[in-house]
Chains A and B, each alone.
Chain A
Amino acid sequence: MSLIEIHGLTKDYGRGRGIFDIHLEVEEGESFGFVGTNGAGKTTTIRHLMGFLDPHEGSCKIRGLDCWHQAAEVKKHVGYVPGEIAFPDASSGFAFLDRQATMTGRTNRRYRDYILDKLQLDASANLKRMSKGMKQKTAIVAAFMHDPPILIMDEPSTGLDPLMRASFVDLLEEERSRGKTIFMSSHMFDELETTCDRVAMIKDGAIVDVASTAAIRHHEDKTYKIEFLAGEDYRRFLSEPFQVSERRDSTNQVFVNVHDDEIDLLVRRLTGYRIKFFTEIKYSLEQYFNNIYKREPADVQ
């Protein structure tokens, strides 16, 4: 049994809006990313997991508990960062965090202070006066402070600047190494690529692909860009048995697609040429996503 199980989850808001027959399983200790355009259904899916929405069809389970019928029980295991944060009135960040801790009946002050320090948040400021970034950090602290085994987050790094984002990614890495199960949506590919084991892509309410980030990081088909010092070398190379995906006559540059099995051959052949530079064109989650997103029609209806 997987820790998070989404089976045939459907919520039809009409006119093609909603989510349709979603199946996802997340194992214990896994870090799972969720990516898609605005309105594709990420938040709707996450709100079902949190028991805020009642499925039209299908179900979500966390640790075998039904997310709708046993919502209160499910929430005990979960730390949650919502997508749009609406804070209640509270005199300060601390007052809010204390109230959250009382509500959930769980406190771990030492751990809370550790997270505050890690994210460099001064929670004594008035909640209303906080910048977007500070509010986002407060929401992250509220989700993490009782050290829950499962973290569900809807675009948690929105509004964070690059420095805050780096500390947040650090924190996620720590939580991961402590065995936490993470389910998060994000618009930041590099963040998903470093923190997630698998990433699901959702389009028009349907899952179009689930990719392993390790497979993307260790992609065995590589693309190299090579510039030759002389036009003569460049032209000669074009007759080599490599797949050239692009050639630039004016600059003597080629883009070659080479499988790892052929790398020795490429290196040996290149010793017969005068090269100006040799660089790799990286394959990234972003490219992968863009390829799939543009190609795949959403398989709804």
Chain B
Amino acid sequence: MALLEVNNLTKDYGCGRGVFDVSFGIEEGEVFGFLGPNGAGKTTTIRHIMGFSKPQKGSTSVDGMDGWEMADQIQRELGYLPGEIALPSNLTGTQFIKYMAELRGVTDMSKTRHLLDKFELDPSGRLKRMSLGMRRKLAIVTAFMHNPRILALDEPTSGLDPIMQETFIDLVLEEKRQGKTILLSSHIFSEVEATCDRIAIIKEGRIVSEIVADELRHRQDKVYRFEFLGDEDFERFAQEEHVQIIAAHREKRQLTVGIHDNDINEFFSTLSRYSLKYLKEEKFTLEEYFLDFYDREKTVAEGLAHVVN
């Protein structure tokens, strides 16, 4: 059994809104990415896992605890970062951290101090006067402060600047090395690519694709683009057999070709008979995969076939 499980979860809000028959499992030590546009059901799923919402059908469980039955314990133990942060505005950040520490019975504040340092956050100001970025940082600190084994993070970096986004990636990788299990919903593809082992894409309340991140990172089908120094090289290359030309740009003497890793040595032998201006790789990114999925009506099998082949 997976450490975090969602089994046939359904919550129908009417008018096609909600989540429908959502299932996935996250193994211990895994970082699991959750991608989808606003309104697709990411937050609804996470709120069920945290026990804030009761399933109409199906169930969720964390470390064997049912999301609804054991909500109190789950909310106390998990690290949770909500998508919309509503903080009690009459407190200072320091008071809020103290309050959260007491709630969770945290006495050792060294992790908290480490996190405040890492994110360069001075929590002494009043919450209502904090910028969006500062409130986000505070939410990150309180999600990780009690050193939870399992974390559910709902768009943790929205509103953070690029340097802080990188600091966050650093933190997730640090926690991952310590064996933490993390569910990460995000709009930032680079963040998901950098941290996640597996990625689920949710569309209109249903999981439409589940991919192993390494299949995207280490695709064996590569696409290279290169430019020739001379026209005659360009013309001559067009006669080559066994090279799959994807696009040709005659005026610029550019070619785009698809090469499987198994054929790379042969490809270099061929290329060595030409003079190139440059050689670059056209990467297939998570973003393209995602947008491609949303563009067309695709089934999960087609999506996977697209990645693997």
Residues of A within 8 A of B (CB): 35-40, 131, 133, 158-159, 161-166, 187, 189-190, 220, 222, 260, 263-264, 267-268, 270-271, 273-280, 282, 286, 289-290, 293
In the assembly, what is the distance between CA of A163 and CA of B278, in Å?
33
Q: CA–CA, A271 to B264, complex, Å?
A: 10
Cα A220 to Cα B275 with chains together (Å) = 16
- Expressed in whole angstroms, the Cα–Cα distance for A263 and B268 within the complex equals 11
Interface of A is mostly: mixed
CB-contact partner of A133 in B38, B218, B275, B280, under 8 A: B38
4 more CB-based (< 8 A) A-B contacts, given A161-B36, A282-B281: A159-B158, A162-B35, A190-B190, A289-B162
Q: In chain B, what residue has the closest Cβ to A189?
A: B162
> CB of B290 within 8 A of chain A?
yes
Interchain CB contact (< 8 A) of A280 among B187, B269, B281: B281
A220 to B278, CA, bound (A): 8
Residues in chain A near residue B268, CB distance under 8 A: 267, 270-271, 275, 278
Checking A35, A263, A276, A278 against B278 with a beta-carbon cut-off of 8 angstroms, the contacting residue is A263
B133 at the interface (CB under 8 A from A): yes
How long is the Cα–Cα vector from A39 to B134 in the complex, in angstroms? 11
- A290 lies within 8 A of B261 (CB): no
A289 to B166, CA, bound (A): 12
Q: Does B159 contact A (CB under 8 A)?
A: yes
Chain A residues near B276 (CB, 8 Å)? Answer: 263-264, 267
Contact status B162-A187, CB under 8 Å: yes
Query: Is B189 in contact with A267, judged by CB distance below 8 angstroms?
Result: no
Interface size class of B (residues with CB under 8 A): 35 or more
Q: Is the CB of B37 within 8 A of A164?
A: yes
Tell me the B residues contacting A by CB distance below 8 Å.
Answer: 35-39, 131, 133, 158-166, 187, 189-190, 218, 220, 222, 261, 264-265, 268-269, 271-272, 274-281, 283, 287, 290-291, 294
Determine if B291 and A187 form an interchain contact, defined as CB atoms under 8 angstroms apart.
Answer: no
> Closest Cβ of chain B: how far from A15's Cβ, in Å?
13
Most buried by A among B159, B163, B294: B163
How near does chain B come to A130, taking the closest CB pair, in angstroms?
11
Q: Interface of chain B, helix or strand or loop or mixed? A: mixed
Task: List 21 A-B residue pairs with CB atoms under 8 Å apart, sorted by A's residue number.
Answer: A38-B131, A158-B158, A161-B36, A161-B187, A162-B37, A163-B291, A165-B187, A187-B161, A187-B162, A190-B287, A222-B279, A264-B274, A267-B268, A270-B268, A270-B272, A271-B269, A277-B261, A279-B281, A282-B281, A286-B162, A290-B163
CB neighbours (8 Å) of A162 from chain B are 35, 37, 187, 189, 287, 290-291
Contact of A282 among B37, B159, B277, B283 (CB under 8 A): B283
Cβ-closest 4 pairs across A and B? A280-B281, A161-B37, A37-B161, A260-B278
Chain A residues closer than 8 Å to B272, beta-carbon distance: 264, 267-268, 270-271
- A137 shortest CB reach to chain B, Å: 11
Given A38-B131, A164-B37, also A260-B277 (CB < 8 A): yes
Residues of the B chain whose Cβ atoms lie less than 8 Å from the Cβ of A286: 162, 190
Q: Which of A38, A39, A260, A290 has the most CB of B within 10 A?
A: A38
- In chain A, what residue has the closest Cβ to B186? A162
Report the separation of the CA atoms of residues A267 and B274 in the bound assembly, to the nearest whole angstrom.
Answer: 10
Q: A274 to B261: give the CA distance in the assembly, Å.
A: 11
